[in-house]
Structure 1
Amino acid sequence: MIERSAKMTFKDVSGKKVNLIVKDVKEDVLDADISDLMDSVLTNKLIKTEAGDLVEMVEAKVINKETTTVAL
């Protein structure tokens, strides 16, 4: 089984990096889709840290994790 997730990294007003992980990302997700989502998070101020709002996109990655069950 392959699990896909998107890891999006932002900076808050204090400069601290903050990760947001979205699980079960579609196989055909586009870079633009993730970028648009990150822009929406910033524009709509959807997430706040102890220091305040997220203010900058740093990076994004799509992570594939493959799990294989071992027969015992």
Structure 2
Amino acid sequence: MTKTLEMVFRNAEGKEVTLSLADPKEDLTKAEVDTVMQQIVSRNIFITKAGELTQTVEARIRTRDAVALA
């Protein structure tokens, strides 16, 4: 099973942008993620084709199981 942290933001044009990080730590808290997301927005760390990130939307951990077929 693989896990991915997905952080969703809104950019200057109102479009959603998702930043994905593989293998987040097991004991990651919502408060930790919220803090990092706010820092990303306030420091303009990432800029998209449609402008800077202006707002946090949500964060989620996506899990995926892959099964090999023989």
> In the TM superposition, what is the alpha-carbon distance from 1:51 to its structure 2 partner?
2.1
**Unaligned residue ranges in structure 2 (runs of 5+):** none
What TM-score do the two structures reach when normalised by structure 1? Answer: 0.85
In the alignment, the residues of structure 1 paired with residue 46 and residue 13 of structure 2 have an alpha-carbon distance, to the nearest angstrom, of: 14
Question: Equivalent residue for 1:27?
Answer: 26
What TM-score do the two structures reach when normalised by structure 2? Answer: 0.87
Tell me which stretches of 4 or more aligned residues in structure 1 moved more than 2 Å: 66-70
Structure with more of its chain in strand, by fraction:
2
In the alignment, the residues of structure 2 paired with residue 37 and residue 5 of structure 1 have an alpha-carbon distance, to the nearest angstrom, of: 16
Give the % identical residues: 27
Q: Secondary structure at 2:51's aligned position in 1?
A: coil
AA partner of residue 64 (structure 2): K
In the alignment, the residues of structure 2 paired with residue 69 and residue 37 of structure 1 have an alpha-carbon distance, to the nearest angstrom, of: 36
In the alignment, the residues of structure 2 paired with residue 55 and residue 4 of structure 1 have an alpha-carbon distance, to the nearest angstrom, of: 26
> In the TM superposition, what is the alpha-carbon distance from 1:67 to its structure 2 partner?
3.0
Instruction: Decide which structure has the larger Cα Rg and report it.
Output: 1
